[in-house]
A and B are shown apart, each in its own frame.
Chain A
Amino acid sequence: MTELVSLSGIRKNYAGVQALKGVDFDLKAGEVHALVGENGAGKSTLMRVLGGETPPTSGTVSLYGEMVALSGPRDATSRGVSVIHQELALAPDLTVAENIFLGRLPGFVNHGALRKAARDILDRLGFAIDPAVQAGRLTVAHQQVVEIAKALSNKARIIVFDEPTAVLANSDAERLLAIIRELRAGGTGVVYISHRLNEVFDLSDRITVMKDGSHVETLETVATDVDAVIARMVGRQMSALFPPKDGRVPGKVVVDVRNVTRGRKVRDVSFSVRAGEVVGLGGLVGSGRTEVARLVFGADKMDSGTVELNGKPLHLSSPRDAVRAQIGLVPEDRKEHGVILDAPIRINTTLAKIRSITRFGILNVTKERQVATALGAEMRLKASSVDAPVSSLSGGNQQKVALAKWFHADCDLLILDEPTRGVDVGAKSEIYNLINDLAKAGKAVLVISSEHQELFGICDRILVMAEGAIVGELAEGAFTEQQLLTLAMTQSARNRDEASL
């Protein structure tokens, strides 16, 4: 078999962070080479290098046995490399035909000829998609097909699929896999990134496992199994950052979530959290964890299901309803949703319970300073004064302000979405201590995190989500990455909605 791609010693640094630490990867004609690993392992970054979207810091890229320096995505495309991203990159207002030939449109477009050429390609793929319709009006599955058609029209010999089936219903996913098999039979080389290991084993010839920006091992698919692959993905250890979990006394149920559903993102989710308990919500990025948090917080509306707080059913039509019921949320995106960067620490601290420092609507700024200063001291906030804008703080201290807001509001249930993302190790440890303090004080805490060790270190039990549903629960003492990943990556297909998009 001819070697189509050979990446050798690829390193990529982003602002001092090593995203890729010298990775080797190769692809032969007529094979499907799967690329697997946890979120942040470097799979997508590696494929961005192959697609010419980002130049490697060091290392060489060879195509068809010849070393190349790709100047950009256009250069890669002209050399027969097509990368189909998770987030589809179609122009929604252009027609299917225009999208397929985008970038190679002549100055004057002959729409008739363009549509005919587009229809030929789509027919070859076996889809009856109208080339004259706007791409934005297609289902996600059909948009994916248009992306593939675009790759074929480019005479791509190397096609990268980055999590193509994540958004597809079963029947559509089957069609896509069939197309990929056909492509392989025709001699195209396919790189297939997926978290669905069942599919990977079904489809691939070889599997490369990546972890923390490094190449772990490349395995022949027929000579390995799911357990062996997962075993190679895990094993990152964190130092002892976590406070001891003793002193927490689980009490009565604070929040009881029953059969909550929203579209395809959250399906029939039920769980409860007790007072004094820290419950983790694990799983892969995009498995619906954030969506669950937003539903319980009233930030999105649920299609069906109920949420009870302290035994009383809640009517959640906005975050306001949740905050009134003593629920708090520290969102994933700190800078956009968690804090007001331009505003001083004290204003951020009191925002969720501004009544506590007002009388007839008049602010008592002296009292506010006292409140914010006291909370800041309790949280070991490092700031010149509570009048300093949050933007002047480090990531960890910004996150403490986001937390302080809910400490001040005195919630019964606090939901933390990726509470230590972009936070240095010292502040991480302090945030873990604060979470522990909350639990000791009898609060219910729900933590979403993609760092498994973090969940293991602070939670009493962990619910694992995949594709919008809770697929399992790990109890304290039975926390292993192997188990968590097995649940997150192999239970998913079972839950997939059969309904077509």
Chain B
Amino acid sequence: MTTTPASAAAPSSLTPRILEAVRHYGTLGIFLVLVIVASLWSDAFLTERNLMNVVRQVASGAGIMAVGMLFVVLTRGIDLSVGSIAAVGSVLCAHLIAAQGFSVPLAILLVIATGAACGVVTGFFVAYMRLPSFVISLAMMAIARGISLIVSAGRPITMGEPGASLVDFGSGFFLGIPQPAILMLLIYAIGAAVLTYTSFGRIVTAIGSNEEAVRLSGVPVERYVLSVYVISGALAAVAGIVAAGRTGIGTPQVGVGAELDVIAAVVIGGASLMGGRGNMFNTLLGALILGIITNIMNLAGVPGYHQNVYLGLIIILAMLIQYVTARSRR
């Protein structure tokens, strides 16, 4: 349905072949089956309007954040703060533009820097103090949510006329594709290129496979670990800006519970929470799969509360597939 960014197949060749194929193409298979089933089942699914709606939602939801999360997960870490940082991004962006009179580009830059700064804090404690990322990012999740409520005084901030260009971007199309979706694809393409073709991506992956071996090869592991949290924080802020652009409103309610969707996207995309394994293209598919499932359930009129149950079951299924393929390798 969309053009794929540079194929980011992680370098590996493990036996046996079939399980390897499942591991590599399993996500793509699930994705295709899902699209076929959905289009057969509902006429409303395969319409341009609906599809564009799905990708726009994915872009401002889990999609962009999953790129940062993948980097974190590759190092065997986790970042629970992304949803809250997105809320900071959304609120701060609207606040700077509407209340402080910042120009849109400057506001965007400051907001991304703020997200990155949150990542620096998390990353410092994880990389240099060797504290568990789960707990530190949980703390950052609370802090960032709090900051978003403080900045907004708990109320949505309308950007109005000064933010018109951002709203245009958020709701506009380019070549018939929603602009946020194009931004998302661009970020995935860059992410895939970094992961596959740079020493940074190589070392991040290697750290997740065997941190001690990498350290004993003379690599400054701490810097790389810190960087992935910075990337994650910055991209979470970007997601917040996109969300603000889509609605024209900055609200502290953005991204509540989003960390779970983001982690689910990465896991459905076949990345291992034990680090060292995962790729960008499959992560994008993972995010789209989540978006499509939500969309189908909406089309089918499944109540919101029930949707959570099905999402949970799908995550368990994804973990099962991983478990089976991972176990066969030992």
Contact residue among A319, A347, A361 (Cβ-Cβ distance under 8 Å from B198):
A361
Minimal beta-carbon separation of A314 from chain B (angstroms)? 13
On whether the beta carbons of A363 and B199 are closer than 8 Å, the reply is: yes
How many interface residues does B have (CB within 8 Å)?
26
Other-chain residue from B12, B199, B216, B219 in contact with A342 (beta carbon distance below 8 A): B12
Most chain B CB atoms below 10 A, which of A338, A343, A358, A361: A343
A362 touching B218 in the complex, CB below 8 Å, given contacts A340-B209, A341-B210: no
**Residue among A324, A361, A387 making CB contact with B200, cutoff 8 Å:** A361
CB contacts (< 8 Å) of B210 on chain A: these are 336-337, 339-342
Does A282 make an interface contact (CB < 8 A)?
no
A322 at the interface (CB under 8 A from B): yes
Whether B206 lies near A351 (C-beta < 8 A) is: yes
Q: Decide if B12 touches A323 in the complex (CB within 8 Å).
A: no
A246 CB to nearest chain B CB (Å): 33
Contacts of A341 in B (CB 8 A): 209-210
Encode A317-330 as 1/0 by CB contact (under 8 A) with B.
01110111000010
Q: Tell me the bound Cα distance from A318 to B199 in angstroms.
A: 20
Q: Interface readout for B192-219 with A: 1 if CB under 8 Å, 0 if not?
A: 0000011110110110011011111111
Tell whether, in the assembled complex, residue B209 and residue A351 are in contact, meaning their CB atoms are under 8 Å apart: no
Bound-complex Cα distance A492 to B15 (A): 50
By beta carbon, the residue of chain B nearest A331 is B216
Q: Once the chains bind, are A340 and B206 in contact (CB under 8 Å)?
A: yes
Q: Which residue of chain A is the closest to B11 with respect to CB atoms?
A: A344
A352 partner residues in chain B, CB cutoff 8 A:
217-219
The size class of the interface chain A forms with chain B is 20 to 34
Q: Are A322 and B198 touching (Cβ within 8 A)?
A: no
Q: Is the CB of A347 within 8 A of B202?
A: yes
Cβ-defined partner of B12 (8 Å) among A319, A362, A389: A389
Pick from A336, A355, A389: contact of B213, CB under 8 Å: A336
A166 at the interface (CB under 8 A from B): no
Asked if B218 and A319 make an inter-chain contact with CB atoms under 8 angstroms apart, the answer reads yes
B13 and A388: CB pair below 8 A? yes
Q: Is the CB of A343 within 8 A of B217?
A: no
Residues of A within 8 A of B11 (CB): 343-344, 347, 387
Bound complex: CA of A392 vs CA of B13, how far in Å?
10
B276 contact from A342, A354, A388, A392, Cβ within 8 A:
A342
Q: Are B199 and A344 in contact (CB under 8 A)?
A: no
How far apart are B204's CB and chain A's nearest CB, in angstroms?
12
Please name all residues of chain A whose beta carbon is closer than 8 Å to the beta carbon of B213 when the two chains form the complex: 336-340, 351
Given A340-B214, A389-B14, A361:B206 Cβ within 8 A: no
Q: Does B101 contact A (CB under 8 A)?
A: no
- Contact between chains at A363 and B13 (CB < 8 Å): no
For chain B residues 266-317, which have a beta carbon within 8 Å of chain A? 276-277
Q: Answer whether residue B220 sits at the interface, using C-beta atoms and an 8 A cutoff.
A: yes
Residues of B within 8 A of A324 (CB): 218
Chain A residues with CB under 8 A of B206? 340, 343, 347, 351
Query: Which residues of A333-377 have CB atoms within 8 Å of chain B's CB atoms?
Result: 336-344, 347, 351-352, 354-355, 358, 361-363
Chain B residues lying within 8 Å of A355, measured Cβ to Cβ, are 199
- Residues on the B chain within 8 Å of A114, using CB: none
Flag whether A428 is at the interface (Cβ < 8 A).
no
Q: Does A405 interact with chain B (Cβ within 8 Å)?
A: yes
Is A323 a contact of B197 with CB atoms below 8 Å? no
CB-defined interface of B209-233 with A at 8 Å, one 1/0 digit per residue?
1101111111110000000000000
Do residues B217 and A358 form an inter-chain contact, with CB atoms below 8 A? no
Q: How far is the CA of A355 from the CA of B11 in the complex (A)?
A: 19
CA gap between A320 and B210 in the complex, in Å:
16
In the docked arrangement, what's the CA distance between A337 and B215, Å?
Answer: 9
Docked Cα-Cα span, A198 to B199, in Å, equals 55
Tell me, rounded to whole Å, the shortest Cβ–Cβ distance linking B289 to chain A: 26
A281-299 to B contact mask, C-beta < 8 Å, 1/0: 0000000000000000101
**CA A319 – CA B212 in complex, angstroms?**
11
* A221 CA to B231 CA, complexed, in Å: 69
Say yes or no: A319 contacts B215, CB within 8 Å. Answer: yes
Residues of B within 8 A of A409 (CB): 218
**A323–B200 touching, CB < 8 Å:** no
A206 to B209 alpha-carbon distance, docked (Å): 51
Q: How far is the CA of A227 from the CA of B12 in the complex (A)?
A: 55
Q: Is the CB of A342 within 8 A of B209?
A: yes
Nearest CB on B from A271, distance (A): 22
Which residues of chain A are near B220, meaning CB under 8 Å? 318, 320
Kindly name the residue among A324, A331, A347 whose own CB sees the greatest number of chain B CB atoms within 10 A: A347
Q: From the candidates B197, B215, B217, B276, name the one contacting A363 in the complex (CB within 8 A).
A: B197
CB-contact partner of A336 in B198, B212, B217, B277, under 8 A: B212
Docked pose: A218 CA to B217 CA in angstroms: 48
Whether A363 and B12, one on each chain, are in contact in the complex, defined by CB atoms closer than 8 angstroms, is: no
Minimal Cβ-Cβ distance residue in A for B276: A342
A residues less than 8 Å from B218 (CB atoms): 319-320, 322-324, 352, 409
Selected from A299, A337, A363, A389, the residue in CB contact (under 8 A) with B202 is A363
Bound-state Cα–Cα, A331 to B203, Å = 20
Give the CA-CA distance A388 to B209 in the complex, in Å: 16
Q: Are B219 and A320 in contact (CB under 8 A)?
A: yes
State how many angstroms separate the Cβ of A463 from the closest Cβ of chain B.
23
Chain B residues near A339 (CB-CB < 8 A): 210, 213
Which B residue sits closest to A339, measured CB to CB? B213
Contacts A336-B210, A363-B199 given; does A387 touch B13 at CB 8 Å: yes
Shortest Cβ gap from B10 to chain A (Å): 10
Task: Give A194 to B210 CA distance when docked, in angstroms.
Answer: 36
Which residues of B have CB within 8 Å of A363? 197-199, 202
| B217 and A405 within 8 A (CB) | yes
A residues 464-488 in Cβ contact with B at 8 Å: none
Q: A343-B209, A388-B13, A389-B13 are in contact. Are A323 and B276 (CB under 8 A)?
A: no
Chain B, Cβ-Cβ closest to A321: B218
Q: Closest approach, in angstroms, between the C-beta of A177 and any C-beta of chain B?
A: 39
A35 to chain B, nearest CB (A): 35
State in angstroms the CA–CA spacing of A387 and B203 once bound together: 17
Say how far A387's CB is from chain B's closest CB, in angstroms. 6
In the complex, which residues of chain B have a beta carbon less than 8 angstroms from the beta carbon of A347? 11, 202, 206
The chain A residue with its CB closest to the CB of B222 is A318
A262 to chain B, nearest CB (A): 17
CB distance from B58 to the nearest CB of A (A): 29
Subset of 24 A-B contacts with CB under 8 Å: A318-B220, A320-B218, A320-B220, A322-B218, A324-B218, A336-B210, A336-B212, A336-B213, A337-B216, A339-B213, A342-B12, A342-B209, A343-B11, A351-B206, A351-B213, A351-B214, A352-B218, A358-B198, A358-B199, A362-B198, A362-B199, A363-B202, A389-B13, A409-B218
Q: Which 8 A-B pairs have the closest CB atoms?
A: A323-B218, A352-B217, A351-B217, A340-B210, A320-B218, A340-B209, A342-B209, A358-B199
Binding site for B on A (CB under 8 A): 297, 299, 318-320, 322-324, 329, 331, 336-344, 347, 351-352, 354-355, 358, 361-363, 387-389, 392, 405, 409
In the complex, given contacts A342-B12, A343-B206, A358-B199, what are 9 additional A-B residue pairs having Cβ atoms less than 8 angstroms apart? A324-B218, A336-B212, A351-B214, A361-B199, A363-B198, A363-B202, A387-B13, A392-B15, A409-B218
